[in-house]
Structure 1
Amino acid sequence: MFALTKVMRGGLALVAAALVATQFAPTAAHAADPAYKVLVFSKTAGFRHDSIPAGIQAIRDLGAANNFTVTATEDATAFNTANLAQFKAVVFLSTTGDVLDAGQQTAFQSYVDGGGGYVGVHAAADTEYDWAYYGTLVGAYFKSHPAQQNAVVKNEDRTHPATAHLGATWTRYDEWYNYRTNPRSTVRVLQSLDESSYTGGEMSGDHPITWCHAQASGRSFYTGLGHTIESFADGNYRQLLLGGIRYAAGMVTADCRPASGPPPGNTTTVEGEAYTSNFGVQPAGHAGASGGTTMGYIDNGDWAGYSSVSTSGATGFSARVSSGGAGGTITVRSGSQTGPVLGSVSVANTGSWDTFTTVSTTLNGTGTGALFVTFSGGAGSLFDIDTLTVTRNTTPPPAATEGEAYTSQSGVQPASHAGASGGRTLGFIDNGDWAGYSSVSTAGATKFSARVSSGGPGGTITVRSGSQTGSVLGSVSVANTGSWDTFTTVNTTLNGTGTGPVFLIFSGGAGSLFDIDTFTVSK
């Protein structure tokens, strides 16, 4: 009788929610936003995407439903100080090539740095290669792409308004860009690609595809999704765009600080309804949930256990949740529903059972048994849980070393570049020059990577141990990147026999070969 009562209660709540959703579907999902204006810029000086008209219309539709008006143009003279001042965000919709002159670039830079918003869509990364500021603003330049195909998108950060509606993964069809550099160290990666799920990925398994970051007093959001016309009819993709626009326009805040290193490798995500033991809870259907189902009908005192999810060494917990009820608390326990408490997190009313957000907390790392979550709160249904994620201790990635931070050298000098980390590189590198770094050990090192640029002949970096004539651990070639302000990352394996500090030796043709922004040595 108890279970039947819960089903009836939940069923009535779902019916009521459905009626409300039906009645208010055409109106603004974010009516609290003050009215504002967005400029959509789609000028192309290279390849032109046939999805641009669909993209403009989709953004107009989003504006009509979310309290912003859209001005669409391909006239670059719109980029002047007086005109830009009326817009909260500017969307570069699959622009290509050199689309702004010097004066227009200056006006746009002042607009963004002064507090304006930038949204880059797909081929926006294939734009303004000779303008270093734009490279920093977009985050990474386009390099290449394989044939259009299905791929799995990993939604790394589901707290951002652009991605909060999505599950842990999202399989979709698109044209998947490779980028000249990995932007992870300078942006907050929101989505990345599982390179094992498709062919043609060229970013060594760490493949950001959507990200955001602060730009002076302004905000930048970029997504590589959106090549196809069909993308702009996809409700999930439209919501991604809307979240990016609202963030860039300053209508909603989000943590877009770069995360410290690559995504944690030791995490487990499980569907909420995939419990192996429980009390009181039941699956509940929700179209916006991962797999279309949540763990629902959660009352005070209910619990769920997951025998396949270990809490051993767990230091973080997050859950994607929704609540049209009282809200409450998730308590994370180890081993059983009465086992040691590892941490807890509050869940607030999110506005409806179909409005999802992500809550997270730290855990104390003392767990040993299977994951159990217990629920407490007021009367009636508290909240639903879409997915749960447990994060465990991982070895932090090695820190990058600034190229110009050498402790000994021959021939090289620091060189200023706006697009470099710290604004400077190791530059003026000629054949036969070298640099040593007494604080960077080669002991056991098996990998080397460097962020480089070259407007010259390129050449080779040889990694040695102990001195400029010490044991050779490996080498990597550096090609001309197109300019001294166009950066890419080169990688090589090392033989693991090093014992002393790292020395980099440079060889190649005549004249300046390349610059080194940062490098990393790792085991």
Structure 2
Amino acid sequence: MRTQLKAALGLFAGTLLCMAPQATALPGVAAGDAARTTAAQAAPDTVARAAADPAYKILVFSRTAGFRHSSIDDGITALRALGTANNFTVDATEDPGTFTTANLAQYKAVVFLSTTGDVLGGAQQTAFESYVTGGGGYVGIHAAADTEYDWPFYEGLAGALFHSHPAIQPATVEVEDRAHDATAHLGGTWQRTDEWYNYRTNPRTTAHVLASLDESSYTGGNMNGDHPIAWCKDYRGGRAFYTGGGHTDESYTDPAFRRHLLGGVRWAAGMTNADCRPESGYTSLFDGSGTTGWQQAGPGGFTLADGTLTSHGGLGLFWHSAREITGDYSLKLDWKASGDDNSGVFLGFPASSDPWSAVNNGYEIQIDATDAADRTTGAVYGFKSADLPARDAALNPPGEWNTYELRVTGERLEIFLNGSKINDFTNTDPARSLRQGHIGLQNHGDGDDVAFRNIRVKQSGTSPGPRTGRVTGVNGKCLDVDNSGTADGTKVQVWTCNGSAAQSWTVATDGTLKALGKCLDVSGGGSADGTRIQLWTCNGSGAQKWAAQSDGTVRNPQSGKCLDASGGTWNDGTPVHLWSCHTGPNQKWTLP
């Protein structure tokens, strides 16, 4: 487990069961500041966190071969002060000769501070590429985007290059990510004055945008209303952070901007984690502006302030009642524990005013890093532990924000923590389904203070449309409708693939498998081993629902059993039937 987490928790081996009842009950959602904060919060140079970062070094490079910013000296001074307060050492240089493989190896991150033009030679570029691909960090500040236009590697690293800029003026910065350490201290919007760059390309498709400009708040923006101004990305093995701010001398005495820089340095240097994968197509379920569409089940509740939901009392559940999520989807949300705190995110449960309904009918993804393996952070509570080494490497300690992505495909749940995959679970319980139900946040009890921000879901575009083609199984044979018959009860079998309509199946979005206008059906809705699988008029019943699994099997959720080619020889004409899942070759299928 990470050093910071150990220090913060004092190696406390918690034994709290996630759903153990608590004593004090507090009502509903407390009235806090329901609106997102519209001004940046000032922050000191020292990060308030559980444990100090280990000592490390960064290199600040500020060579210019074009326009030279007067603020460079102020930037170096600010970075040195941040280093003194946060346990890192700054070496500042304008000598490209420092870019050798041996010299760069001592630094956790290299900061390009308003560099301009061509600043590195070929051998130096090669050394820097090797540094980044070996896991090194990059921080670009302002005119770092006005640098090395003929070096494709650098353009990809920076994310976008300079196009033009209007006059220095105030503008509204819209903070899109309030979990990354560079922006977590800010409100939903940030009012500041700077020289606002336009870029040649939009980095949104290749980088994770942390903040963007409201082009209606100033004059001269030319990026058609989508104007990223700060972003991060994982790049060829390394980490890259860029901010467009920092032209003015005053930027470097602004506490909020200094804290922004510190977060970029810490992330690039690997001192904190974040989900820096590109993100688009998500719909907000909670953006910090209010809780319309949410309900509290059970005691306790959540306080809404500064665009953040913070749990109090319990044991209860704050659930999104306005929308049942069905099909394949990706749920993302940001969370932060203040100490040894307990909470969880629930998926796939029916609408209910009883929080225990979510426990008994859904799945909980745990937030509590000190409990048993199957009920600690990243676990599917009571069912499957996270990959603990991967979890520990990705987890930020108490006091810092973390981001979950909970990705549901069929009945498969993949759990990502700060962009790293830490769990892969498949539901095999016929009484539960990850693909249909509500989502909720647990308020565990008095003293368990966990905060949440930016809850969003991506459904359209994640849920695949109907797919048509052959279904292949054991010995490369195809799932086949006997003699192309269409009568209810027609036998379904395996047969040498021949491209006929009897072997053309449509995987529908409602979970059915269709051929010749009818559905693959479990006879009588049975669940006994050996129950006949047949063709039947589509009727929407559970006997006609099928879910592809990550292990290659195709399961009927109603019965909890698998589509199986009967017997042990599997010649042409071998019928398929229902059978207990065992992942043998006669239960492995490839769908269109």
TM value normalised by structure 1: 0.59
Alignment match, 1:404: none
Alignment match, 1:146: 166
Alignment match, 2:72: 52
Q: CA RMSD in A?
A: 4.0
Gaps of 5+ in 1: 11-23, 398-523
Deviation readout 1:18-51 (Å, 9 max, x if unpaired): xxxxxx9968847553322111111222222232
Provide the secondary structure at the position in 1 that maps to 2:451.
strand
Alignment match, 1:302: 316
| Counterparts of 2:145 and 2:94, CA distance in 1 | 17
Does residue 1:206 correspond to 2:226, yes or no?
yes
Change (3 A) 1:393 1:296: closer
Aligned-residue offset at 1:69: 0.4
| Counterparts of 2:186 and 2:93, CA distance in 1 | 31
Alignment match, 1:418: none
Alignment match of 1:389 (pick from 452, 455, 463): 455
Change (3 A) 1:315 1:324: same
Alignment length (residue pairs): 367
Alignment match, 2:283: 266
Gaps of 5+ in 2: 1-21, 31-43, 370-395, 409-433, 464-592
Change (3 A) 1:63 1:203: same
- Contact between 1:345 and 1:360, CA under 8 Å: does it hold in 2? no
Change (3 A) 1:167 1:359: farther
- Contact between 1:302 and 1:375, CA under 8 Å: does it hold in 2? yes
Does residue 1:357 correspond to 2:402, yes or no?
yes
Alignment match, 1:94: 114
Alignment match, 1:104: 124
| Counterparts of 2:23 and 2:167, CA distance in 1 | 51
Change (3 A) 1:233 1:30: farther
Alignment match of 1:77 (pick from 97, 100, 105): 97
Alignment match, 1:63: 83
Provide the secondary structure at the position in 2 that maps to 1:232.
helix
Aligned-residue offset at 1:197: 4.2
Which structure's relative contact order is higher, taking Cα pairs within 8 Å and 6+ residues apart? 2
Change (3 A) 1:122 1:392: same
The percentage of aligned residue pairs carrying the same residue is 48
- Contact between 1:37 and 1:68, CA under 8 Å: does it hold in 2? yes
Q: How does 1:192-341 map to 2 (within 5 A)?
A: 192-259=212-279, 263-264=280-281, 266-271=283-288, 274=291, 278=296, 280-281=300-301, 283=303, 289-290=306-307, 294-296=308-310, 298-304=312-318, 310-311=323-324, 316-331=331-346, 337-338=353-354
Aligned-residue offset at 1:91: 0.3
| Counterparts of 1:296 and 1:119, CA distance in 2 | 32
Alignment match, 2:499: none
- Contact between 2:179 and 2:402, CA under 8 Å: does it hold in 1? yes
| Counterparts of 1:27 and 1:255, CA distance in 2 | 20
| Counterparts of 1:225 and 1:200, CA distance in 2 | 16
- Contact between 1:316 and 1:362, CA under 8 Å: does it hold in 2? yes
Q: How does 1:125-204 map to 2 (within 5 A)?
A: 125-204=145-224
| Counterparts of 2:201 and 2:45, CA distance in 1 | 41
TM value normalised by structure 2: 0.53
Moved over 6 A (4+): 2-7
Change (3 A) 1:205 1:390: same
| Counterparts of 1:384 and 1:48, CA distance in 2 | 46
| Counterparts of 1:390 and 1:113, CA distance in 2 | 32
Aligned-residue offset at 1:133: 2.6
One-letter identity of the residue aligned with 1:387: R
| Counterparts of 1:318 and 1:28, CA distance in 2 | 22
| Counterparts of 2:63 and 2:277, CA distance in 1 | 30
Alignment match of 1:118 (pick from 138, 149, 153): 138
